[in-house]
Structure 1
Amino acid sequence: MNQLYVQVSPNCYDWLMQKPRQQWSRSAFRTTSQSDMFVNNHCEVFNSSLGKLRDLPIITLFRELHKAIMKRIQIRRDKMANANVIICPSAQKKLTKSMHYAGNCVVTWSGGSAYSVTCTDGGHELVVDLVKRTCSCRKWDLIGLPCYHARACIALKNEPWENYIHDCYKKDTYLQLCGNTLEPIVGPEFWEETPEPKPMPPAVKIPIGRPKKKRNKKNDFPADTTNLKRTNTKVARNR
């Protein structure tokens, strides 16, 4: 398999081999975080929430950000408290999707905690342990939600699937996290005077023209080789 990767893109293969596998391969991820994501979506969501606050002074920015987080916690806490669910809706969607594929699994059991699962769509054979909450595909180990191989075993045992999900996805855990409210603070007119120097804005050289507020995303996506640039491009003509 490694030889195939070298043939497809030698430079990409050499670049990846210089980095720890924990940074780019799910097969080397730790199972303590209950997550298999390696993208910066959470940072992008927080970054987008600062769109209207970027141009404010540093103290005003933190004050407005404090209010925005207070409001966000309250909205999410009330929404989850009024929801008639056992686990979070996002986790429920993943479980519903896994149940659809569980019908393609043939489960063999001899009475212990381990099950042999054969996938009819590919012929793969895996081992699922309901007591250890592990599967050979490592999906259950990584995210804490039963994969469709485990869902097939749970259906055979005829037990509630809620007993096999991690506590971090349950409604009670979510409400406990949102139960720690963010206390409000008074305005600057009520702040105590201190002998410390006041923070000064950084020395930034403002370029000519209208400031750009949108992030440059050209490096986030691979270049399209089918499109030609308008400048410094030569097209060969048939003679």
Structure 2
Amino acid sequence: MTTNIAESLNSILHDEREYPVASIFNSIAHKFGEIFRKRYAEVDNSKTTFIPVAETVLRENMTEGDKLYVNNMNGSTNEVTVLGYGRSAKIDLSRRSCSCKKYDLVKLS
């Protein structure tokens, strides 16, 4: 989490440092092509449209959400109140906002 992009690329291209410049560019293109093909294969074989990290967050949220109670006090289809874990939050589905601000951080419902 603390490494920057330059350090990451430096570790990937450790062996290529002594090559001529043209060979380094060819190696970079080859390695990135490999990485993209591998990730594309993972996503292409997936049954969902989410990347694995987002799918994990959504599954965890679903598990936690099973313990919550949803109340529609004003009868609107876009505004609900969620109760659970000793607190409540007001959610506006049309604005995609929540009073707990968790959606603002994660951007996943």
- TM class by smaller structure: 0.7 to 0.9
The 1:77/1:108 distance shift into structure 2, 3 A limit, reads same
Matched, 1:80 2:33: no
Greater relative contact order: 1 or 2 (C-alpha under 8 angstroms, separation 6 or more)?
A: 1
Matched, 1:117 2:100: no
CA distance in 2, matches of 1:91, 1:144: 10
Structure 2 portions without partners, runs of 5+: none
Q: TM-score, normalised by structure 1?
A: 0.38
* 1:59-115 deviation line (CA, Å, top 9, x unaligned): 432221111112222222233223322322221111111112213323221322121
- Deviation of 1:41 after TM superposition, in Å, equals 5.6
The runs of at least 4 aligned residues of structure 1 exceeding 4 Å deviation read 39-42
**AA of the residue aligned to 1:92:** E
The 1:138/1:55 distance shift into structure 2, 3 A limit, reads farther
The 1:118/1:41 distance shift into structure 2, 3 A limit, reads farther
CA distance in 2, matches of 1:144, 1:71: 30
Structure with higher strand content:
2
CA distance in 2, matches of 1:115, 1:47: 49
Q: Which residue of 1 aligns with 2:16?
A: 53
Secondary structure, in 3 states, of the residue corresponding to 1:83? coil
Q: Which structure's CA Rg is the greater one?
A: 1
Structure with higher helix content:
2
Count of aligned pairs: 106
Question: CA RMSD, aligned part only?
Answer: 2.5
Q: Which residue of 2 aligns with 1:70?
A: 33
- Deviation of 1:116 after TM superposition, in Å, equals 1.5
CA distance in 2, matches of 1:46, 1:124: 45
**AA of the residue aligned to 2:43:** M
Query: Residues 21-170 of structure 1: matches in 2 within 5 Å?
Result: 39-40=1-2, 43=5, 45-110=8-73, 111-112=75-76, 113-120=78-85, 123-146=86-109
CA distance in 2, matches of 1:88, 1:106: 28
CA distance in 1, matches of 2:4, 2:36: 16
* 1:146-183 deviation line (CA, Å, top 9, x unaligned): 1xxxxxxxxxxxxxxxxxxxxxxxxxxxxxxxxxxxxx
Structure 1 portions without partners, runs of 5+: 1-38, 147-239
The 1:80/1:114 distance shift into structure 2, 3 A limit, reads same
* 1:104-137 deviation line (CA, Å, top 9, x unaligned): 32322132212112232xx222111112111223
Percent of aligned pairs sharing the same letter = 25
The 1:51/1:139 distance shift into structure 2, 3 A limit, reads farther
CA distance in 1, matches of 2:26, 2:37: 17
